[in-house]
Amino acid sequence: MSFDLMHALFRHVPRSPNGDTTWLSSLADRYHLCIYNVDAPPDETSEYLQVPANRGHEAMAYLTFLIDNYAEIAGAVFVHGSRWAWHNDAPDYDNKALLAALDIKRALSVSGYHNLRCDWSTSTCLRSAPAQGSLEMRLQSTISPWSARAASDVAPLRALVSIFGGADGSSLNGRLHLGRTDTVRS
């Protein structure tokens, strides 16, 4: 799969009228920006693209983009409109840093899309990043319970133990802890 990156890659951003998208300007030479207003009344004079209805948060903007551009999409990067997002694994949860450093061709080469969230099962995380469920992340979630990243990194493992057992000391005939190379499939 090959891409004409300057013409085929879109940086798609849903935003609310009070959302600040000025942080995107430095990325405009790398991405064709498609910024959607998600909760404003229809306005044909708006500089932003619009969704048909304000439903499903950013999902409506993503779906609108896909429907409107399906025949021409060679690759796309979908992100939230805010620069800072707790679910980014980039330094300081910074969308701008993540997108500036993204190796677009490599990220899209396998399937034409890529989840920007770091994924331990496919080795997209740096070796230096603490593993989900590691002692470091468990301690961080206890010390900083307000940290959404720390809480979200520990939550899946707690949920698996809750679903499959083991929290009460019962035997499961298998492992309870996931390693860097383990994959959870549904």
Is residue 116 predicted with pLDDT exceeding 80? Answer: no
Nearest to 100 by CA among 183, 5, 31, 182: 31
Cα of 32 vs its chain's centroid, Å: 18
Nearest to 72 by CA among 8, 13, 11, 12: 8
Q: Is the dihedral of CA 183, 142, 95, 10 positive or negative?
A: positive
Q: How far apart are CA 156 and CA 178, in angstroms?
A: 11
What is the pLDDT at residue 45? 83
Q: Which helix (H) or strand (E) holds 135?
A: helix 135-143
CB-CB contact of 165 with 141 (8 Å): no
Domain ranges (residues) in the chain: 5-117, 119-186
| pTM (2 d.p.) | 0.55
* pLDDT tens profile 22-58: 888 888 888 888 888 777 777 778 777 888 887 776 7
